[in-house]
Structure 1
């Protein structure tokens, strides 16, 4: 079968070559047919006619141009060049996401793409780069590449209209002999990377600070117990209780740090399970009722008797509402009551499930509300530590709700209490 297939392919290839030659020689063939027609009209005998036909066919074969490999490659290259020529360099540059500026040996802008015009307004042709970018490092970059044509790069900070960090790269373009030299400036936006690095540094600094305080306390008490209070039984019992509390504080902080780390690792993984949020809230209320009773706080439930389904991870949602309800009981203790509410909100965009936890405590000043979900941010540091807070609880809540495509809204009025509202997009149908 393979030999037959190979023979068929060769036959098709030969037929294709013959057809191609005929197409290329169509004008010569037309002349040959016309000549034969004239000979026939003139009454020439068949042997002479046959001889003339053979001569004409040989002439066609001899004078038909045949494309060799180099000619074929040249033809293909010409076709590619024709296609590329239709896509102008300016059109390509306009689509680049990073700013790009062409300039001459005098530092004058020859062209700036759309990203550059938007990032570095005002920037037009004939703008002098030295006047637009006044930072000394930018002047050094431009002057250096003009002087020796060697590519180089610097870190550049643009303050207006917004703080942006760029990696600015300059290089010379090959203009060709006899043409004016030109150069290109490329800017790679590093702002997000810098922001993440700064957040990481701040996070490490804050975590270190939070751990250093209890560690220093533990070391101090251990030294005291080894020295002056070695035989003081009353002091030993008091110090050991304080040391236990400090150790528990460090354990809570480490647990919260590990929780944040785990959440960040799976932040991109969407939840696929359906969970009964009414059951979750009832479980959280049952769990924290002893804590509330100890603080003389009453928890009121406004939760439907039936199931209310949302897409979510049960354990993570329990963590969210335990955190919110525990905060309401501790920080809203003076209000003596907390309301846990669950309802469905139908609108034109679909059905939302809204869970809220409301306390009637001192409330939160409005200037603190935008920053409550930041790591280690506290409205009152001493109160937070007295309530055994780590400053990471609401940051964990935010991370979990982001993964669940949920929204956290915080409403508070000083002297009237606070309400933490969690809104979910409900799945289709209800069981």
Structure 2
């Protein structure tokens, strides 16, 4: 009968083990052995399931004859993991006991934490300009009611804060749309050479005002890929805008397009888009987190420049939708280069 119990436990698609009435583990499937240890069979269940909440759930299932549940926390060497544990009494067969199953909910817990962080970040980003607007409105109604110079100054700041909120809402809507479409491959044909040239032309005035020179290196012939024109334009816009804003006066921004040719990163033919600047560069500690939502290297400077902290997150999701790859290389004091590799078809 132990063999029969073992066959049943082995068939469970989750980590599972059977605890007999004498409180010993009589069978465990491969998933449970990998999670809890290879030598748990035959041992008292407390030595394998060491956490008090799980022990209490198993004991409750024995005592009350009813299902019980608990949470099991562990670590797989890379991250904390979380399992929902189900303890169900078995009354049929010659070996009555409790079947214990562990359902991995790490990804669900991680997604929930990301949602909470996102809501907290959005609330914080909106609260700051809203608080400023409310304060200036009170001032304009009170002490500055008859002071035209103060009114002009405060209205200018209010316009800036309202613009910041508008950019934040626009980026949030863009991010939401991009995330919703991320698993849907684009089907239109996009001429990349003309697209890059058009976006660069649109930046001539902004670059001139910032004292930045934009140079382009484009192939002589047109290059077509399968993609979404509006989204690829947004990728270009966000990357070039960041370079122009943060490279600093007298810097140079180079926009380069090469291909098509074989690209190992996309396992096929692709094009390579590179935006490089001669600015101050980025400390390597920041590079792995650059595409996180609301992550900023310098929060104060980013807000001064009108940044929302969402631009590179949008770029990442658009590149993912196109089954491309995004890379960042930077050396402090020597500039930064963003590279986007996109498959041709």
Q: Runs of 5+ in structure 2 lacking a partner?
A: none
For residues 176 and 184 of structure 2, the distance between their equivalents in structure 1, rounded to whole angstroms, comes to: 14
Match of 1:9 in 2: none
For the aligned residues, what is the CA RMSD?
A: 1.7
Tell me the secondary structure at the aligned position of residue 262 of structure 2. Answer: strand
Tell me the secondary structure at the aligned position of residue 423 of structure 1. Answer: strand
Alignment match of 1:142 (pick from 38, 48, 58): 58
For residues 335 and 96 of structure 1, the distance between their equivalents in structure 2, rounded to whole angstroms, comes to: 65
Match of 2:253 in 1: 338
Summarize the alignment of residues 62-211 of structure 1 with structure 2, pairs less than 5 Å apart: 90=6, 93-94=9-10, 96-161=12-77, 162-176=79-93, 179-211=94-126
1:150, CA displacement in angstroms? 1.1
1:265, CA displacement in angstroms? 1.7
For residues 383 and 165 of structure 1, the distance between their equivalents in structure 2, rounded to whole angstroms, comes to: 38
For residues 319 and 12 of structure 2, the distance between their equivalents in structure 1, rounded to whole angstroms, comes to: 35
Match of 1:373 in 2: 291
Tell me the secondary structure at the aligned position of residue 326 of structure 1. Answer: helix
1:181, CA displacement in angstroms? 2.0
The structure with the larger Rg is 1
Q: Does the CA contact (< 8 Å) of 1:335 and 1:359 recur in 2?
A: no
Tell me the secondary structure at the aligned position of residue 388 of structure 1. Answer: coil
Tell me the secondary structure at the aligned position of residue 183 of structure 1. Answer: strand
1:93, CA displacement in angstroms? 4.4
1:95, CA displacement in angstroms? 5.3
If asked which structure has higher relative contact order (CA below 8 Å, sep 6+), I would say 2
1:92–1:355 distance in 2 versus 1, CA, 3 Å: farther
How many corresponding residue pairs? 338
Tell me the alpha carbon deviations over residues 377-431 of structure 1, each in whole angstroms, 9 at most, x when there is no partner.
000011101110000000000111111111100000000000000001223xxxx
1:157, CA displacement in angstroms? 1.8
Match of 1:392 in 2: 310
Q: Does the CA contact (< 8 Å) of 1:334 and 1:360 recur in 2?
A: no
Summarize the alignment of residues 198-277 of structure 1 with structure 2, pairs less than 5 Å apart: 198-277=113-192
Structure number with higher strand proportion: 2
Tell me the alpha carbon deviations over residues 210-260 of structure 1, each in whole angstroms, 9 at most, x when there is no partner.
000000000111000100110001000000000000000000000001111
Structure number with higher helix proportion: 1
Tell me the secondary structure at the aligned position of residue 342 of structure 2. Answer: strand
Q: Runs of 5+ in structure 1 lacking a partner?
A: 1-87
Alignment match of 2:323 (pick from 400, 405, 414): 405
Match of 1:327 in 2: 242
For residues 123 and 167 of structure 1, the distance between their equivalents in structure 2, rounded to whole angstroms, comes to: 22
Deviates more, 1:257-266 or 1:158-167: 158-167
1:156, CA displacement in angstroms? 2.4
Tell me the alpha carbon deviations over residues 327-347 of structure 1, each in whole angstroms, 9 at most, x when there is no partner.
001111245211000112435
Match of 1:360 in 2: 278
1:289, CA displacement in angstroms? 1.3
Tell me the secondary structure at the aligned position of residue 320 of structure 1. Answer: helix
1:174, CA displacement in angstroms? 2.6
Tell me the alpha carbon deviations over residues 261-284 of structure 1, each in whole angstroms, 9 at most, x when there is no partner.
111222221111221111111111
For residues 92 and 274 of structure 1, the distance between their equivalents in structure 2, rounded to whole angstroms, comes to: 53
1:289–1:97 distance in 2 versus 1, CA, 3 Å: farther
